[in-house]
Structure 1
Amino acid sequence: MKTKLWIFGLCCLLWVSPSLDAKDKKTHYEPLFGKALASYSVTSNSLKGAVFYLVSGHGGPDPGCIGRYQGKELHEDEYAYDIVLRLGRELLKRGAKVYFIIQDKKDGIRETAILNNSKRETCMGKPIPLNQVARLRQRCEAINGLYRKDKSNYKRAIFIHVDSRSRGKQTDVYFYHAPGSKYGKRLATQLQKTFRAKYDRHQPNRGFDGTVSERNLFVLRTAIPYSVFMELGNIQNKQDQKRLVIPSNRQALANWITDAIVADYKKSK
């Protein structure tokens, strides 16, 4: 049975800096994106000077939440990782410095509905522990070590997950920040605002119910950078699954998150 096309979003307008340095105009290469998309060019300076630590949830021995779609399993870690790669590529194209904390040297960005599960993921080359606390501490230590070396004034960690609820519960993307985090809250609120505006444009009358709230999650209180933790939908719900299984929808998620980040970065200038 073929996947029914469901349009989640379209390419978004970019804020483009008037000029690029000669070194930025050359072709860059990131093998984590896969052979087809490994090469990219910097097309904008809109995030020049910004540093991002991108973390896809779970990975390695832990697939995270599991849903079922057309008789196949959907594994949270695979979809979160694909979207993180797409997001990272968009940030790099805008001149940012990007670290992929969770990595799979084989997968790359994939253009299929079903993303097959594997246990290859590492934390920047190190095996991921099965124990939850050890797993979360490992990725936070990786982030914090990099954070201490980076000199940028704008450094943000982005954690991407997929939720699991009852099949009948449809959810919009929602966002968490650490308790009392002024700039984490600002970015989370900008993400919410951007998503609402995109839905109003591309799916009028749909509305957007994604929330922003503070939550005392381990990664939010342990990672040093200002951070946002986002849940992309309910992996059990048929409508939310379309947000994940259609490659253009995964790209739209990456585009919309990028637009929100660019808007937040401009506020810091």
Structure 2
Amino acid sequence: MRLKYTLLILCCLVVLPGFSRKKKTSGYEPLFGKSQAAYQITSSSLKGATFYLVSGHGGPDPGCIGKYRGKELHEDEYAYDIVLRLGRELLKRGAKVHFIIQDKKDGIRNAAILNNSKRETCMGEAIPLNQVARLQQRCDAINRLYRRDNSNYKRAIFVHVDSRSRGKQTDVFFYHSPGSKYGKRLADQLKRTFTAKYDRHQPNRGFNGTVSSRNLFVLRNSTPYAVFLELGNIQNARDQQRLVIPDNRQALANWIAEAMVSDYKKSK
């Protein structure tokens, strides 16, 4: 009888460690809002990758402002919504994600007009109005996290909306820091992914987005390899459809996430 009990205990000792190694299959991020906070991890295609997601402007600075059906469109609100959607897609693929700009009230929203607020913070810290101080603050936050993260693949993604004359329609375009081999590789992959999506969904239109180097403050002063995206012209009626239709905001997030997966595979 004592031998049987010994064997049973040994069996339990063998089985129990397996439970601790059980794969995580779900997550919860309050920033997404109550209806979207819970998510399922559907793949491990980005397991081991870390992303620092930064939506442009925020707090006292709304960024560019466009007019749509008598309402104002504020750059920071649309950039933030798309960043949240992108972060959720990355998390679902097993990545680690840091949201540098945060709004504890606004989650992922499915409205056309996203009301402006000044609640956004830089990871809990008030965002200064001074431009240089504002940009330095988010670079400092990224760099602190970067030093603590153990991942071999760490990328910063800056999301903005451009402002040009109303008649100037633009596609999404991508910047990388001058001389950044891996920043350029990611920007090129983003362009290839967007080109393929446009060829599939709008075959007669084509995609005219560009990749170029630019000596922007945030690209110059953040440690991770980075890309800076301009999602369109907030003044142009056609480009506004990319922003005000929730499914289009989600499509942008999906396509960016797909490009990240492709780039991550190249790093292995």
Q: TM-score, normalised by structure 2?
A: 0.92
Distance 1:196 1:41 in 2: 28
Which residue is equivalent to 1:209?
Answer: 208
The superposition leaves residues 87-111 of structure 1 with CA deviations (integer Å, 9 ceiling, x where unpaired) of 0000000000000000000000000
Paired letter, 2:248? N
For the Cα contact (< 8 Å) 1:57–1:159, is it kept in 2?
A: yes
Match of 1:168 in 2: 167
Displacement after TM superposition at 1:77 (Å): 0.1
* Counterpart residue number, 2:131: 132
Letter in 2 for 1:188: A
Tell me which residue corresponds to 1:122: 121
Cα deviation, residue 22, structure 1: 2.7
Matches of 2:38 and 2:247, distance apart in 1: 19
Aligned pairs for 1:201-240 within 5 A = 201-240=200-239
What SS does the corresponding residue of 1:199 show, helix, strand or coil?
A: helix
Q: Secondary structure at the match of 2:129?
A: coil
Cα shift at 1:23: 3.3
Question: Would the aligned equivalents of 1:24 and 1:95 in 2 still touch at CA under 8 Å?
Answer: no
Once residues 199 and 40 of structure 1 are traced to their aligned partners in structure 2, the CA distance between those partners, rounded to angstroms, is 28
Distance 1:23 1:105 in 2: 29
1:160, distance to aligned residue in structure 2 (A): 0.1
Amino acid in the other structure paired with 1:103? Q
Larger Rg: 2
Q: Please name the residue that 1:98 is paired with.
A: 97
Is residue 55–residue 159 contact of structure 1 (8 Å, CA) maintained in 2?
yes
For 1:62, give the aligned amino acid.
D
Alpha-carbon separation, structure 2, partners of 1:38 and 1:151: 26
The residue type paired with residue 139 of structure 1 is R
1:23 aligns with 2:23: yes
1:120 aligns to what SS in structure 2? coil
Amino acid at match of 1:204: P
1:147-200 CA distance string (max 9 Å, x none): 001111100000000000000000000000000000000000000000000000
Three-state SS of the structure 2 residue aligned to 1:23 is: coil
Q: Counterparts of 1:65-214 in structure 2 under 5 Å?
A: 65-214=64-213
Deviation at 1:28, TM superposition (A): 1.3
Question: 2:266 maps to which residue?
Answer: 267
TM-score (structure 1 length as normaliser): 0.92
Q: CA deviation at 1:32?
A: 0.1
CA distance in 2 between partners of 1:22 and 1:28 (Å): 14
Mapped to 1, the partners of 2:35 and 2:83 lie a distance apart of 17
Identity value in percent: 81
Q: Do 1:67 and 1:75's aligned partners in 2 also have CA atoms closer than 8 Å?
A: yes
Whole-angstrom distance in 2 between the partners of 1:71 and 1:191: 33
Paired residue for 1:245?
244
Q: Distance in 1 between matches of 2:247 and 2:48?
A: 29
Kept in 2: contact 1:24–1:41 (CA 8 A): no
Using the TM superposition, give the Cα deviation of residue 24 of structure 1 relative to its aligned residue in structure 2, in angstroms.
Answer: 1.6
Q: Which amino acid aligns with 1:53?
A: Y
How far the C-alpha of 1:52 sits from its partner, in A, is 0.1
1:205-251 CA-to-partner distances (Å, cap 9, x unmatched) read 11111000000000000000000000000000000000000000000
| Alpha-carbon separation, structure 2, partners of 1:267 and 1:133 | 34
Cα distance between partner residues in 2 of 1:181 and 1:264: 14
Aligned pairs, number: 248
Structure 1 residues not aligned, in runs of 5+: 1-20
Which structure dedicates a bigger proportion of its chain to helix? 2
Distance 1:258 1:96 in 2: 10
Q: Distance in 1 between matches of 2:24 and 2:142?
A: 25
Distance in 2 (alpha carbons) for counterparts of 1:73 and 1:82: 16
2:24 is paired with a residue whose SS is helix
Larger relative contact order, structure 1 or 2 (CA cutoff 8 Å, min sep 6): 1
- Is the CA contact 1:52–1:98 (under 8 Å) kept in the aligned structure 2? yes
